[in-house]
Structure 1
Amino acid sequence: MNETTRRTFVAGATAAGIGALAGCADEETDPTDDDTAPTDDDADSADDETDSTDDETTDEETAATYEIWGADQGTNTIYIHQPTDDGGFEQVDEIDTGAEGGEVPHMVDYTSDYEYAAVACTAGARVLVYRTEDRELVANLETGAGSHFAGFSPDDEYIHVDVIGEEKIVRVDADLDNEEFEQVAEIDVRENETILDAGIESGAPICHQYAQDGRSLHTIGPSYYDGALVIVDHDDFSVDRAYSHDEIPTNCGTVSHPTEEKFYLTAGLPSDPDVDPDEDPVAAEGVGDFYVYDTADDEVTTVDSTGGVDAHGFWFTPDGEELWVLNRETNDGLILDPETDEVIDEIDAFGPEQSDDPADSDAPDIMWASPDGEYMFVTLRGPNPLSGDPHAATGINPGYAVFDIESRERVDVVQPDGDNADSDFHGIGVRPVGEFDGFTSPPY
């Protein structure tokens, strides 16, 4: 699979200079959690040593291939890194989301051309929209308490926001040509007839992504016991169908297959050491499951274990041949073959600190692959996590791990503020600024 997709971005080889920092203020921690953060653009602003009269050489030597936007929700900072020629990662910019009220920047999503990024800020009760080239804030949208994930529709005409605190899916009209945004509709999961008829009596929208058939699939949570699934027709913004916890108890990650009519979801629950396993084995041992949903026939085709506890984020490799899945509490995961949905490999430890006791182990959360297919970037939570169950989400090394996709080896841990006890990385996004063929990010 090496075909050009909606998310394949073709840009000039050089990027513009580092621009204005933008952001949001600070507030209390956020009681919500569950899924999938930003990076910065800028081609290191052109090596001065390059001969400016040789345009071709300049383009080749100063071209930034992609940017990693890592969201430190503990310090209200988005760190932007670029790969270096020696295999490392250089910080080229940072965004203070707290300066504009965006406390706890939780997740990041891009437009199809990667020219804009939407950052959902849970404690800030808002979504911030940035122009990625110069990091300029173009919209500050008060979408509601616990705004957990904001995703652009496939045509970039709307932003749909999963708002935990208000139990709603909010629709924002996005006029990107004029950089104008307006909240135009909402789905209240406590009042929607289709959702109530399905028996979903608790929980709130957590995360979503878009299937290839014009619908978006939204997990319900944040608790596994609230886990359910709501499917929205995003053309007319109506609920197409819904499944209760008894049918599909998904409460975490969402991603569509790059080419086929199937969709992947995770269900996670931290273990509870205070519960007697004989009385409640599910609560005592926790849950780590993934589901495969056939969007053509509207049925679950696969339910299987992720091999660990508290299943959470996952991501496709750009060639579409692997789906990486992680478990937050046990700091491990699987690699699936999307053709068969069978396990082809395992990751023993995403973060460098691994222990049977979650208090002494790293806690991975969200993943995103480099567009050249070389690396998988995995965020690592901090010692004072602002979201998720502390038993599962408390980590040792806040930042993000860098995995070589081919060898499955961890080759680096990037920690912009690793000694800060408040540092707590959750979301991550990778923005191509060069030419790539492959599946760089959903919707495909």
Structure 2
Amino acid sequence: MEMSLRPFLGATVAFCLLPACVEPVGSTGLAASEAAAGTEAEAAFGEPPFEVWAIDQSNTNGLAYGGTVYIYNGHNLSAGDGVAPVSAEVIDLGGATASLCFEQTGANPVRPHMVLFNASHTHAVLSFVASGHVAIFDAATRAPVACLRSSPGADGARQAHAAVPAPDDSYILVANQNGKLLERIATDYDAGTFAWDHDAKLNLATCVAPSGDPCQFPDIRPDNAPICPIIDAAGAYGFITLRGGGMFVVDPAATPIQIVGEYDVTAVNGNGCGGVEAGGSMFINSGGGTAANLDQFDVYRFPLAGYAPTNAVNTPPPQVVFTDGSPDRDAHGVLLTNRRRNVWVLDRIQGVAEVFDVGTNAHVNTVDLKGPLSSDPAPDLMARSPSGDRIFVTLRGPTPLSGDPHASVGSTPGVGVIHVTQAGKDGKLKRISPITNTDAGGVERADPHAIQVRLL
């Protein structure tokens, strides 16, 4: 599962990767007109300036590694409607990033999957799910400044499914999915130093839970591949979703990382990839998209206090906000609307967002993203504009690289813009900026996945 970067359709403003090289390629007139449009949009939406970073997982053309980051002016992306390309800065991850990763780890980075910003939005943290790399970028210059690679698990496998910066910027928590390890990178963004904290590592395949049960065991937690670490705002707890079901709550800053809460498959279904703090709780989903659990849509609500190693299993109990295990359901990305009243959870198969009231847990709406712009949008992850009037969503392509194909196949790869209405209860897909990466055989390989908003 999965808690979200290629040649571009139409006129594009592209930037090379070297720190001293920021030379736009494309139409100067288009760039000037879009800059003016962005200023007008900023005034119209009453928002501060911001960027939208979107990640295409597909390889750099002609290579077996790389990928692409698209960086959009947020106000330009917000304006207009229909299906039309919006100019973006483009970072080819097969260039300077791949060179740095190979220099520092001896391997090329493959399949960029999730991107998140540190607390001050000075740096971007990009995880590569296939190769296990975590690349860190100076967000302003777009330059990669460090690249680390996760540890191999017992069978030699390693991945970096998600890498989550701590709220105080002191570390990055890494879900090494197929290695079944929870790892930590010590970070000092001001000094530019990043290093694995090897003493912090928690082996989820071989550890023993506080109850005395094995961390991984049939009928308890059968497959402890960590999917999405979700850290609360205080930095006290990390909620670790697992591929095979069950969950751990950990003290992410302890050395080694310490389990303070354990949940089995009777309490939490597998493949959760999405969580958001709201109303004094942590909302977390579970989904489908794997051979062991094709169809699932659950939303849970966990408290933000009451965890201790001495607790009984499944304590404190989560509230089950919503559950639907019927065919063709797959819960994925989660978002809190700007007035903190509603939580949105996407369904990649149905092409909808389910909306829940934070105060009551009530299911208040189903927002259908299918329509004239896309018959099969396959929405994956979301980020909202500073005002909350827009939600930006990645739309998967026809040749997905992650997630079972039944869950992730889409017809319109790109970035969608949802206009939010009714104080966060409703919305409509108003714009798609396409992303394309066609191979030599004419097959569309673009597969957008991660998306984040960076405040400027």
1:206 counterpart = 2:197? no
Shift, 1:86, TM fit? 8.2
Match of 1:411 among 413, 420, 430: 430
- Measure, in 2, the Cα distance between the counterparts of 1:387 and 1:85: 26
1:264 deviates by 1.1
Structure 1 residue 174 corresponds to structure 2 residue 174: no
- Tell me which of 44, 51, 59 is aligned to 1:67: 51
Q: 1:122 to 1:262 in 2, by over 3 A?
A: same
| CA shift for structure 1 position 84 | 2.3
Report the equivalent of 2:240: 218
Q: Deviations 1:344-402 (Å, cap 9, x if unpaired)?
A: 22112357444xxxxxx331111111112111111111111110001111111111211
**Residues 98 and 418 of structure 1: CA distance in aligned 2, closer, same or farther (over 3 Å):** closer
SS at match of 1:412: strand
Query: Matched residue pairs, number?
Result: 368
1:301 has 2:323 as partner: no
**Does the 8 Å CA contact 1:19/1:134 hold for their aligned counterparts?**
no
Residue type matched to 1:311 in 2?
A: A
Name the structure 2 match of 1:392: 407
* Partner amino acid, structure 1, of 2:134: V
Report the CA distance between 1:233 and its aligned residue.
0.5
CA-to-aligned-CA distance 1:87-142 (integer Å, 9 cap, x gap): 14843311122331322110011111111010001123200100100101011011
SS of 1:84's partner is helix
Q: Which runs of 4+ in 1 moved over 4 A?
A: 17-20
Residue 81 in structure 1 maps to residue 90 in structure 2? no
Q: Structure 2, unaligned stretches of length 5 or more?
A: 1-12, 20-27, 34-39, 60-66, 99-107, 152-157, 307-315
Matched, 1:193 2:202: no
Distance 1:204 1:413, change over 3 A: same
Tell me the alpha carbon deviations over residues 388-419 of structure 1, each in whole angstroms, 9 at most, x when there is no partner.
00111111111121100116111101113276
Distance apart, 1:64 and its partner CA? 7.2
In the TM superposition, residue 256 of structure 1 has moved relative to its aligned partner by 3.2
- 1:268-347 superposed matches below 5 A: 268-270=287-289, 286-297=295-306, 298-305=316-323, 309-347=329-367
SS in 1 for 2:418: strand
5 Å matches for 1:11-410? 21=17, 65-75=49-59, 76-82=67-73, 83-84=75-76, 87-88=79-80, 90-99=86-95, 100=98, 101-144=108-151, 145-184=158-197, 185-194=200-209, 196-197=213-214, 199-212=220-233, 214-221=236-243, 226-236=244-254, 237-258=257-278, 260-270=279-289, 286-297=295-306, 298-305=316-323, 309-349=329-369, 352-354=373-375, 361-406=376-421, 408-410=427-429
2:449 corresponds, among 426, 432, 435, to 426
Deviations 1:299-330 (A, max 9, x none): 21224136960111111122212211111111
Q: Distance in 2 between matches of 1:173 and 1:20?
A: 29
CA distance, structure 2, for counterparts of residue 139 and residue 345 of structure 1? 43
Deviation at 1:421, TM superposition (A): 0.6
Return the offset for 1:208. 1.5
How far apart, in 1, do the equivalents of 2:362 and 2:415 lie? Answer: 27
Matched residue type, 1:383: P
Aligned to 2:407, the other structure's residue is in SS state helix
The answer to whether the 8 Å contact 1:190/1:201 transfers is no
- Residue by residue over 1:269-316, the C-alpha shift from the partner in whole angstroms, topping out at 9 and shown as x without a partner, is 2498xxxxxxxxx968x2211111123242212241369601111111
1:245: Cα distance to partner?
1.5
Cα distance in 2 between the residues matched to 1:395 and 1:18: 26
CA distance in 2, matches of 1:116, 1:64: 19
Whether the aligned pair in 2 keeps the contact of 1:254 and 1:263 (CA below 8 Å) is: no
Cα RMSD after superposing both structures: 3.2
Q: Write the letter of the residue equivalent to 2:229.
A: H
3-state secondary structure, aligned to 2:318: strand
Counterpart-to-counterpart distance in 2, 1:152 and 1:66:
20
State whether residues 323 and 337 of structure 1, in contact with CA within 8 Å, keep that contact through their aligned partners in structure 2. yes
For 2:405 and 2:357, the matched residues in 1 are separated by 32
8 A Cα contact 1:229 1:248, kept in partner:
yes
| Kept after mapping to 2: 8 A contact 1:382/1:397 | yes
Structure with the greater relative contact order (CA < 8 A, sep ≥ 6): 1 or 2? Answer: 1
Distance 1:384 1:85 in 2: 25
Q: Provide closer, same or farther for how the CA distance between residues 22 and 345 of structure 1 changes in structure 2, counting only shifts above 3 A.
A: farther
Structure-2 residue corresponding to 1:279: none
SS at match of 1:230: strand
Q: Is the 8 A contact 1:332 1:348 kept in 2?
A: yes
**TM-score computed with the length of structure 1 as normaliser:** 0.75
**Distance change >3 Å, CA 403–CA 208, structure 1 → 2:** same
Q: What amino acid maps onto 2:71 in structure 1?
A: I
Give a deviation string over 1:418-441, Cα, whole Å, max 9, x none. Answer: 7661100111111111xxxxxxxx
CA distance in 2, matches of 1:316, 1:369: 8
Q: Alignment partner of 2:173: what SS?
A: strand
Unaligned segments of structure 1, at least 5 residues: 1-16, 24-43, 50-56, 273-281, 355-360, 434-444
Distance of aligned partners of 1:293 and 1:422 in 2 relative to their CA distance in 1, 3 Å threshold: same
